[in-house]
Amino acid sequence: MEALRQQLAQLRQEIDSFAVTQAADAEAFRIRFLGTKGALKSVMGEMKNVAPEQRKEAGQLLNEFKAYAESIYQQHLDRTTTASTDTGSGIDRSLPGSTQPIGSRHPVTRMKNEIVAIFQKLGFAVAEGPEIEDDWHNFGALNLPEHHPARDMQDTFYVQQNPDWVLRTHTSSVQIREMEKGTLPIRMLMPGRVFRNETISARSHCFFHQVEGLYIDEQVSFADLKQTLYFFVQEMYGKDVKVRFRPSYFPFTEPSAEMDITCFICGGDGCPVCKKSGWVEILGCGMVHPNVLRNCNIDPEKYTGFAFGMGVERPAMLKYGVNDLRLFSENDVRFLRQFPALT
Ligand code: PHE
């Protein structure tokens, strides 16, 4: 009996000096004294060693100890959890706070970030440039001299104030700006908004977003281009997706290609998204044309490079099941709210 008394006195001391500053400490306290393998359980186990005539008294001691431990635990809990009621200061901390609505990223931004994150794994850095461009950066340097028929491929908005200015029709203009800086090698991504004079409908708009990429170094080959894009497709659309390159034409690349992937909606069987072909086009690409390198004072005998460019809205529409392009720019919160805050 005396041993029990001493044991309980010691435990009370331990309780009094147990440091509790946060919720996790309070939990450690509970486990130590009140848990299924805690101190209370182990002293209770010693009841069997107490003489029968002293059991009643021992039981009382134990009950007192238990009540003490529990009340101290409750105090710790109140102190360390935010919802506790602080009567001292007259402030009721258990009242619900005023909430701040949390914004979320625009679906186009999310898709853009996703694309950028994949290429960042390969060491691509991000570069940005102006949305109002001069003719040289948007066209001339990209091997589209004045009166070049390929200028008609893109319906350009001109700025009235200055006939030399356009709203950039692609982010290839940023590629020129990066090359002009003269620091090689270049491994850059150029995300941004671009403008084309197209009728606004569910499928086309007068502005949209692109991510372009540029890699220039010694001995960069078409095989590097393909491998980079294979990596991208696998990361973005999964390991089972097949890829095909079709020869194409861009004035600033030679050879040029467009890349298709097996339709990620129907898996290649044919559906409205892939117009029953089983393939969807996702980007344009090619080896940077020697004229473009020369225009930026890069020696095409020494350096080669590849470039690619893709739209952001279309993959975003497919990924998020959005059927009208206009929704992206109308800023209707009922639409935007459907994209939860970022994880
Ligand atoms: N600039 C092209 C476009 O806007 C895309 C592209 C970029 C193609 C780089 C090839 C190389 O359509």
CATH number of the domain encompassing residue 223: 3.30.930.10
- What is the chain's length? 343
Q: Within a domain: residue 94? A: no
Query: Are residues 61 and 19 part of one domain?
Result: yes
pLDDT of residue 181: 96
pLDDT of residue 326: 94
Query: Are residues 147 and 80 part of one domain?
Result: no
CB 297 within 8 A of CB 182: yes
Give the residue among 159, 192, 165 at the shortest CA–CA distance from 178.
Answer: 192
Cis upstream peptide for 255 (omega within 30°): yes
Per-residue pLDDT of the chain (343 residues; tens, 9 = 90+): 888 889 999 999 999 999 998 888 999 999 999 999 999 999 998 888 888 899 899 999 999 999 999 999 999 988 887 655 555 677 777 888 888 877 889 999 999 999 999 999 999 999 999 999 999 999 999 999 888 877 877 789 999 999 899 999 999 999 999 999 999 999 999 999 999 999 999 989 999 999 999 999 999 999 999 999 999 999 999 998 999 999 999 999 999 999 999 987 888 888 888 888 999 999 999 999 999 999 999 999 999 999 999 999 999 998 888 989 999 999 999 999 888 776 4
Q: Which residues 6+ apart lie within 8 Å of 159 measured at CB? A: 132, 165, 166, 167
C-alpha of residue 309 to centroid of ligand 1, in Å: 4
Closest-CA residue, ligand 1 atom 7, reads 309
Closest-CA residue, ligand 1 atom 10, reads 285
Query: Are residues 184 and 63 part of one domain?
Result: no
Structure tokens at 291: 């004229």
The structural domain count of the chain equals: 2
Structure tokens at 298: 């890069």
Query: Are residues 163 and 37 part of one domain?
Result: no
Q: Within a domain: residue 187? A: yes
Q: Look at residue 1 and give its three-state secondary structure.
A: coil
CB 310 within 8 A of CB 258: no
Closest-CA residue, ligand 1 atom 5, reads 309
Question: Which range marks the domain in which residue 142 is found?
Answer: 107-336
Q: Is this structure's pTM higher than 0.75?
A: no
